[in-house]
Amino acid sequence: MAEQPLIPPRGKVNLADYSPDYTGSWDRESAQEYVQMLREQLSVLQNKLYADGRHAVLVILQAMDAGGKDGTIRSIFTGVSPQGVEVTSFKVPTEEERSRDFLWRVHKRVPRKGMIGVFNRSHYEDVLVARVDGLVAESVWRKRYDQINEFEELLTESGTTILKFFLHISKEEQKKRFEERLTDPGKHWKFSLGDLEVRKRWDLYMRAYEDVLEKCNRPHAPWHIVPANAKWYRDLVVMETLVQALARLPLRFPLAEAGIENIVIPD
Ligand code: AMP
Ligand code: MG
pLDDT in tens, 126-173: 999 999 999 999 999 999 999 999 999 999 999 999 999 999 999 999
3 state DSSP class of 196: helix
- Phi then psi for 154, rounded to 5 degrees? -60, -45
- Calculate the average pLDDT of the chain: 97
Q: Supply the pLDDT for residue 261.
A: 85
Please state the atom number of ligand 1 nearest to the C-alpha of residue 91. Answer: 8
Question: Does domain 15-248 bear CATH number 3.40.50.300?
Answer: yes
**CA–CA separation, 221 and 58 (whole Å):** 10
Report the separation in Å between the CA atom of 69 and the middle of ligand 2, taken as the mean of its atom positions.
10
To the nearest 10°, the Cα dihedral for 215, 221, 225, 230? -150
34-55 average pLDDT score: 98
Report the separation in Å between the CA atom of 128 and the middle of ligand 1, taken as the mean of its atom positions.
10
DSSP annotation of 191 reads -
Residue 92 backbone class (left: φ over 0; alpha: ψ -120 to 50; beta: rest) = beta
For a substitution probing ligand 1, which of 88, 118, 125, 141 has the most ligand atoms within 8 Å of its CB? Answer: 125
Q: How confident is the model at residue 224 (pLDDT cuts 50, 70, 90)?
A: very high
Residue of 145, 139, 149, 156 whose CA lies nearest to 210: 145
- In Å, the largest CA–CA distance within the chain is 71
Please state the atom number of ligand 1 nearest to the C-alpha of residue 69. Answer: 2
Q: How confident is the model at residue 182 (pLDDT cuts 50, 70, 90)?
A: very high
50-74 average pLDDT score: 98
For residue 2, pLDDT over 80 is answered with no
- Any atom of ligand 1 within 6 Å of the Cβ of 193: no
> pLDDT tens for residues 8-36?
999 999 999 999 999 999 999 999 999 99
Q: Supply the pLDDT for residue 193.
A: 95
Q: How confident is the model at residue 257 (pLDDT cuts 50, 70, 90)?
A: confident
Q: Supply the pLDDT for residue 139.
A: 98
